[in-house]
Amino acid sequence: MSALKVDYSVYLVTGRDLLQPGMDYLESLEQSLQGGVTLVQIREKTADTGEFLEIAQASKTICHKYNVPILINDRIDIALAIKADGVHLGQSDMPISIARSLLPPNSIIGLTCNNAEHVTKAIEDGADYVGLGPVWATATKDVKNPTVGPRGIGKLVHLLEGTDVKSVAIAGIKSTNTLHCLHGSVSLGGRALDGVAVVSDIVASQEPKKAAARIAAEVQSFRRAQ
Ligand code: TZP
Ligand code: MG
């Protein structure tokens, strides 16, 4: 159950395989939080359950030290075990209704959405937020869906008008294109993304704190211009 306020502005999705040589994972996570990461998703595609559990628990301790909520990718059991603040689910993971029934009240549930049908269903199913994309091409994940660009993201954000469902964009987002993504995706109704989800621009940086701070500054600059 999340007692922490959820701020989607700078949403870090982890990717331990992208760390610079010699960079410790937990050190990198802590630096990124110091730089201004506001929400963290632990994404582990190859770790076994024991390892995932250990990483998730250690990550939670650090995130909560900075009052930043922690979400677990895919694995409801890991989220329950470490009392995470919520989960992030993909289109072929557990349905939201079942996840909701298993998790404590007020857990955050996010869903990856690549098109309008996904977004409409996410609203119906009671997602707290949607991860929209891919915005641009990325080497971080083998994404099969076509890239939609900021304007495509804007069309999906528009579907959220009149709902409380929050949104972030993902794939290929860097400090250098964050403003392009945010401005370009402001929907017809004027609704904006609530944040950007980023892996490599932060995780693969030599200086994760600075990398996160650069993105945070771009998000703030966008908000000031709104
Ligand atoms: N889901 C869709 S794209 C992606 C995930 C986890 C990876 C995005 O990584 P990057 O490095 O921010 O482009
Ligand atoms: Mg998944």
Q: Please write the tens of the pLDDT for every residue from 133-172.
A: 999 999 999 999 999 999 999 999 999 999 999 999 999 9
Percent of the chain with pLDDT strictly greater than 90 = 96
Query: How many angstroms is it from 131 CA to the middle of ligand 2?
Result: 12
Query: Is the CB of 179 within 6 Å of ligand 1?
Result: no
**Mean pLDDT across the chain:** 97
Counting ligands in written order, the one closest to the CA of 12 is 1
What was the pLDDT predicted at 73?
98
Query: How many angstroms is it from 3 CA to the middle of ligand 2?
Result: 24
**DSSP characters for the chain?**
---SPP--SEEEE--GGGSPTT--HHHHHHHHHHHT--EEEE--SS--HHHHHHHHHHHHHHHHHTT--EEEES-HHHHHHHT-SEEEE-TTSS-HHHHHHHSPTT-EEEEEE-SHHHHHHHHHHT-SEEEE---S--SSS---SPP-HHHHHHHHHHTTTTS--EEEEESS--TTTHHHHHHHT--TT----SEEEESHHHHTSS-HHHHHHHHHHHHHHHHHH-
> Is a pLDDT exceeding 60 seen at residue 1?
no
Q: Please choose from 32, 170, 198 the residue to mutate so as to test ligand 1's pocket, defined by most ligand atoms within 8 A of CB.
A: 170
Report the predicted TM-score, pTM, of the whole model to 2 decimal places. Answer: 0.98
> Does 134 sit behind a cis peptide bond, omega within 30 degrees of 0 on the bond before it?
yes
Cβ atoms 198, 11 nearer than 8 A = yes
Query: Is the CB of 91 within 6 Å of ligand 1?
Result: no
Cβ atoms 50, 72 nearer than 8 A = no
Token pair of 218, please?
Answer: 């771009």
Query: How many angstroms is it from 74 CA to the middle of ligand 2?
Result: 5
Query: Is the CB of 113 within 6 Å of ligand 1?
Result: no
Token pair of 112, please?
Answer: 């990856």
Q: Give this complex's ipTM.
A: 0.98
Give the atom of ligand 1 at the shortest distance from the alpha carbon of 200.
11
Query: Is the CB of 110 within 6 Å of ligand 1?
Result: no
User: Which residue's CA lies nearest to atom 3 of ligand 1?
Assistant: 171
CA distances in angstroms from 117 to 12, 112, 113, 187, 190, listed in the order given: 26, 12, 8, 17, 21
> Is a pLDDT exceeding 80 seen at residue 35?
yes
Counting ligands in written order, the one closest to the CA of 88 is 2
pLDDT band at 3 (very low <50, low <70, confident <90, very high): confident
